[in-house]
Homo-oligomer: A and B are copies of this chain.
Amino acid sequence: MTAQDPSAGGDAGTETRVFIVSNRGPVTFSRGESGEREYSRGAGGLVTALNAVARRKSEAVWIASAQSEEDVRVARESPDEPYEVEGLKVVLVEHDGEAYDLMYNRLANPLLWFVQHALYDQPYAPALGDDTKRAWEEGYVLVDENFAEAVARTLQAQEEGVAGEPVILVHDYQLYMTPLALRERLGDEAFISLFVHIPWPEPEGWRVLPSYAREGVLKSLLEANVVAFHTESYARNFVRTAREVLGVEADEEKGVVRSESGREVWVRAYPISIDPNEFEELARSDKVLQEEETVRDLPGKLLLRVDRMDLSKNIVRGFHAYDRMLERHPEMLEQVTFLARCQPSREDIPEYARYAEAIQEAVEEVNEKHATDSWEPIVLSMEDNFPLSVASYKNYDVLLVNAVRDGMNLIAKEAVVANEKNGVLILSENAGAHEELGEHALTVNPFDVDEQADALREALTMPDDERARRAEALEQTIRSNTIEEWAEAQLKDIAAYRERHG
């Protein structure tokens, strides 16, 4: 199945109405200088991936949060009639401002993100309490119900002349309570899936959450027909969590959980991927070609990392590993430049501000220690410049992905496909991508600084034939499971589920 064949998609969709529900949508609207409505396409791997689903289901309606003022105007103009843009049908949902803030800034990004990536310093944090409960009840749950309400309203508006039960594909950790709210509104016949794009920890990890949230999330997810993840191990952890927190029947081998109401819930892994064509096109674009000049000016071999400055990305230990490698192998001085593309992220969360500082301190420390007149060991680049990232993807000799934990890490896939140097991938065993790519990468334990130093050295001095062999295998692996296969696998399972459950 290739991108040239977007209409083939099993027979699941011929008479179904498909809804994609996610917090961020495919477009954001704004007002141009002369007052006309403009839009920009959403960035990020999830939007690209969901576009692949939407392309296969041309009637699909995409429901997302109104983010900008102009988004809110669009939402008010057509609260249930999809707005057509870029060949997509979009419904934007206006949320209560305070509720959205509580959901996003109090519940999803600090609490759920931290729990699911195991980022808490547990002797001290979190300190949960009544504020948490309020953020849950008056924020998270309300916003998620608001999404369900928008789906129900849109469905009702198109009711006449459209046959078949709806298929609703809900996405990610901001929307865990939406399946329950959908089931209450649409009844047993609607097909609902929820895709979790971040790690799903083992049951004990979930014990950090207050019981109302822990049980609330699980009960809601078991109102879906399919709960989906990027890896087999997240899927298995989910089955165990459901069994241990709710005491429901669950078959770990088959990936089936029986909800309290008797529904069979399929728990599946669909490793998300990329559209290689998109990156090939991008790689040839003028903007990227221009940025390549900057990248090629960097002395020596190119060691690259590209990450948001997130606590889960392990950026500081990466610099310490590089430092140790230079200490132990002084012959590497001036022979390599570490380009660290680190985008600012969630700067208003204190833990993130502190982490951004720690990153900059580590860079200064390493540079002060090793720099020469003609050589800066680490170039820290924090600008928002996607063409520069793609230019660096094309040219790296070594790519470091050493995340403490990462749902998938799509950068590993994007960069490998764009790379033209048989670059070596160093990959954390705790990145979701490791299930697919680990075999052809240099695997590291993200907590072991010396192991990472050794891997850097090995990668930077690897013989050409081994580089070529590994790079070829990595690219083959990614091309055999692109975003098209990702969408296809889910649509096939939907068809199979409906076949089985009539």
Question: Which chain A residues have a beta carbon within 8 Å of chain B's beta carbons?
Answer: 118-124, 126-130, 132-133, 201-205, 207-208, 210-211, 237, 311-312, 314, 316-317, 320, 324, 355, 358, 404, 429-430, 445, 447-451, 453
Count of this chain's copies in the oligomeric assembly: 2
* 30 A-B contacts (beta carbon < 8 Å): A118-B204, A119-B122, A119-B123, A121-B121, A122-B404, A122-B447, A123-B311, A123-B312, A123-B355, A126-B447, A127-B447, A128-B445, A128-B448, A128-B449, A128-B450, A128-B451, A129-B324, A129-B448, A130-B450, A132-B448, A201-B204, A202-B203, A202-B204, A202-B205, A204-B205, A207-B430, A207-B445, A208-B447, A210-B445, A210-B451
Which of B128, B314, B358 is A447 in contact with, Cβ under 8 Å?
B128
- Tell me the smallest distance from the CB of A199 to a CB of chain B, in Å: 9
- Is A127 within 8 A of B449, CB to CB? yes
Bound CA–CA A314/B124 (angstroms): 8
Bound CA–CA A324/B128 (angstroms): 12
- Is B430 within 8 A of A123, CB to CB? no
Sorted nearest first, the 4 A-B pairs with minimum C-beta distance are A129-B450, A121-B121, A202-B202, A123-B311
- Tell me the smallest distance from the CB of A367 to a CB of chain B, in Å: 20
- Tell me the smallest distance from the CB of A59 to a CB of chain B, in Å: 41
Bound CA–CA A312/B202 (angstroms): 20
| Residues of B close to A430: CB separation below 8 A | 207
Residue of B nearest to A131 (CB): B450
> Which of A124, A132, A311, A312 has the most C-beta atoms of chain B within 10 angstroms of its own C-beta?
A124
Given contacts A119-B122, A132-B448, 14 further A-B contacts (CB under 8 A): A121-B121, A123-B311, A123-B404, A124-B358, A127-B317, A128-B445, A128-B448, A128-B449, A129-B451, A202-B205, A204-B205, A207-B429, A210-B448, A210-B451
Residue of B nearest to A126 (CB): B447
> Which of A205, A314, A448 has the most C-beta atoms of chain B within 10 angstroms of its own C-beta?
A448
| Residues of B close to A314: CB separation below 8 A | 123
Residue of B nearest to A132 (CB): B448
> Which of A129, A133, A201, A430 has the most C-beta atoms of chain B within 10 angstroms of its own C-beta?
A129
Bound CA–CA A445/B211 (angstroms): 8
Bound CA–CA A121/B126 (angstroms): 12
Which of B121, B129, B449 is A129 in contact with, Cβ under 8 Å?
B449
| Residues of B close to A450: CB separation below 8 A | 128-130, 133
Bound CA–CA A122/B118 (angstroms): 7
Residue of B nearest to A117 (CB): B122
Residue of B nearest to A405 (CB): B122
| Residues of B close to A320: CB separation below 8 A | 127
| Residues of B close to A202: CB separation below 8 A | 202-205
- Tell me the smallest distance from the CB of A394 to a CB of chain B, in Å: 30
Residue of B nearest to A452 (CB): B129
- Tell me the smallest distance from the CB of A347 to a CB of chain B, in Å: 16
Residue of B nearest to A118 (CB): B122
Residue of B nearest to A199 (CB): B204
Residue of B nearest to A207 (CB): B430
Residue of B nearest to A214 (CB): B445
| Residues of B close to A204: CB separation below 8 A | 118, 201-202, 205, 237
- Tell me the smallest distance from the CB of A29 to a CB of chain B, in Å: 36
| Residues of B close to A312: CB separation below 8 A | 123
Given A202-B203, A207-B429, A207-B430: A124 and B316 within 8 A (CB)? yes
Bound CA–CA A404/B122 (angstroms): 7
Bound CA–CA A35/B281 (angstroms): 87
Bound CA–CA A480/B350 (angstroms): 49
| Residues of B close to A355: CB separation below 8 A | 123
Bound CA–CA A451/B132 (angstroms): 11
| Residues of B close to A130: CB separation below 8 A | 450
| Residues of B close to A447: CB separation below 8 A | 122, 126-128, 208, 210
| Residues of B close to A126: CB separation below 8 A | 447
Residue of B nearest to A315 (CB): B123
| Residues of B close to A118: CB separation below 8 A | 122, 204
Bound CA–CA A320/B126 (angstroms): 13
Bound CA–CA A203/B236 (angstroms): 12
> Which of A201, A311, A445, A453 has the most C-beta atoms of chain B within 10 angstroms of its own C-beta?
A445
